[in-house]
Amino acid sequence: MNKNPQKVTLPSDVLVALQEAAAAYSNWGRWGEDDIYGTVNFIDDEVRAEAAKLVTRGVAISLSQSFDSLGPQNGEGRRTNPIHTMINHGLDAEFGRLPWPHGFGGSDDVISMPLQASTQWDGLGHIFDHGKAWNGRAAGSVVDSFGDHITGIQTVKEKLVSRGVLLDVAGFLGENNELKDGYAITSEDLDRTAEHQGVEIRRGDIIMVRTGQLTRARREGWGTYAGGSAPGLSFGTAGWIHGNEVAAVATDTWGFEVRPNEFEGAFQPLHQIAIPHMGLFLGELWDLDELAADCAKDGKYECLLIAGPIPFTGAVGGPVNPIAMK
């Protein structure tokens, strides 16, 4: 969010685009008025069982960035990098400062961080549209100062396990394996990439879109990686996401969608459709480079993806260490 939020008046055509997309791609009521899972409903036991069959080599690849003080956060949206503090440590044990008997010693630590400081899921209580949360609920009835009482991230702690599909758009369409900042990935780009890779999109998939921006940030420094210009999904991909009935979408960028956003004066309009209207979980700050290299080597761009968030009760987002198994 902006450091100094101000009310922004959007051009009327932008408002029309948002309204039309909300109406066209809404899943409100699709799984009942009490639903709390949104598009994760597309992942059932059969989908998971089929995904498990993809594991033939036993290779496990972490898709998580580091959780430490050297991360990309720069204060945008009041987000900071994790702060790691020791409670007890080796010097306490060495000099007898611990209260335990017969020389027993140990160490403990504390992490303080925004839950979206590094690799994470945006939950269904993260974004609202005109005061409405997922499934048409009043935003204030879902999230208050005590957290998300209905769609907290803990509700999907075991559900985000499915077939993962990597769409390495940067590897296919990018220059030197990277897309330029500001590149808006279209539905056609996604389809062409899938066709090039020989992979079919199926209901219940978790789609991972690699832009290559993280690769560039590692080479050149974080810069404005957290909040600045970036390649990402075009607002026009809302129909592609909805029509393919995917369970979730993750990218290797801070904001998931292209930045600057395509509408002048807008802020994250695709979020405004995807989360509260579709009920879509969005993954951000994922590290897809090692997976992309492995997929290019074996020619298989699908995997079993195990990506349950840490179940912080009432949280609207959750840190995750996604594991791709092949």
Note whether residue 301 is domain-resident. yes
Q: Do 87 and 172 reside in the same domain of the chain?
A: no
Q: Is the pLDDT of residue 2 over 50?
A: no
Of all residues in the chain, the percent with pLDDT exceeding 70 is 97
Q: Is the pLDDT of residue 326 over 50?
A: yes
**Average pLDDT score over the chain:** 95
Sign for the CA dihedral angle at 92, 93, 97, 99 comes to positive
Q: Do 299 and 277 reside in the same domain of the chain?
A: yes
Q: Which residues contact 52 (CB under 8 A, 6 or more apart)?
A: 304
Q: Do 208 and 138 reside in the same domain of the chain?
A: yes
The pLDDT of 163-178, averaged and rounded, is 97
Q: Do 46 and 92 reside in the same domain of the chain?
A: no
Q: Do 96 and 129 reside in the same domain of the chain?
A: no
Q: Give the structural domain span for 25.
A: 12-77+114-325
Q: Do 220 and 258 reside in the same domain of the chain?
A: yes
Q: Do 211 and 199 reside in the same domain of the chain?
A: yes
Tally of domains in the chain: 2
| Confidence band, pLDDT 50/70/90 cuts, at residue 264 | confident
- Residue 10: per-residue pLDDT: 58
Note whether residue 5 is domain-resident. no
Note whether residue 7 is domain-resident. no
Of all residues in the chain, the percent with pLDDT exceeding 90 is 92
| Confidence band, pLDDT 50/70/90 cuts, at residue 20 | very high
Note whether residue 6 is domain-resident. no
End-to-end CA distance of the chain: 37
Q: Do 95 and 232 reside in the same domain of the chain?
A: no
Whole-model pTM: value is 0.94
Helix (H/G/I), strand (E/B), else coil: 222: coil
The pLDDT of 295-299, averaged and rounded, is 97
Give me the half-sphere count of Cα atoms (radius 13 Å) on the Cβ side of residue 280: 33
- Residue 299: per-residue pLDDT: 97
- Residue 8: per-residue pLDDT: 53
Q: What is the CATH number of the domain that holds 321?
A: 3.50.30.50
Q: Do 271 and 145 reside in the same domain of the chain?
A: yes
Note whether residue 170 is domain-resident. yes
Q: Do 69 and 161 reside in the same domain of the chain?
A: yes
